[in-house]
Amino acid sequence: MAGPERPIVWSSAALADLAEFWSHYAAVAGRLTADKTVRDVGEACRAIAARPFAGRARNDVRPGLRSIAAGAVVVFYRVGRDERAEVLRVLDRRKDVDEGPLGESERR
C-alpha cells in the first residue's frame, strides 16, 4: 500500500526540460502529443509522490539518483531524508546520461 503523497520539488533544469519537450513535440507532432508527454510525466510524478523509492536506483550514474520512465522521457530524481522527491531532470530516453546531461547542481 502506498503512503501519503509528499509534494515534489522541481529543479529549474527539470522545468526547463519539460517546457522544451512540450515545445518540441508540439512543433513536430502536434499539441495533443505534447500534452500526452506532459501527462505521462505527471503520472510518473504522482507515482513517486506516493512511493518515492518506486523508481529505479541509478547509483551507476550518480549516488542517490533514481529514475522512472514516463513515455518517451525519463524523470530523474533524488529522495531527501524526509522522503520527498526532487525532480532533477526530464530527459529523452535516448540520451546518454553518462555523457553528462545532469548538471553540477544535480550531482550533489
CATH number, domain of 61, equals: 3.30.2310.20
Digit-coded pLDDT (tens) for 51-87: 999 999 999 999 999 999 999 999 999 999 888 999 9
Determine phi and psi for 10, rounding to 5 degrees. Answer: -110, 130
For residue 50, list its beta bridge partners.
Answer: none
Report if residue 3 sits inside a domain.
no
Residue 44 domain boundaries: 9-95
Report if residue 20 sits inside a domain.
yes
Global confidence as pTM: 0.85
What whole-number distance in Å separates Cα of residue 95 and Cα of residue 73? 9
Q: What value does the mean pLDDT take over residues 30-39?
A: 96
- C-alpha distances out from residue 46 to 64, 75, 76, 84, Å: 20, 12, 14, 12
Q: Based on the structure, what is the number of domains in the chain?
A: 1
Residue 86: in which H helix or E strand, if any?
A: strand 85-92
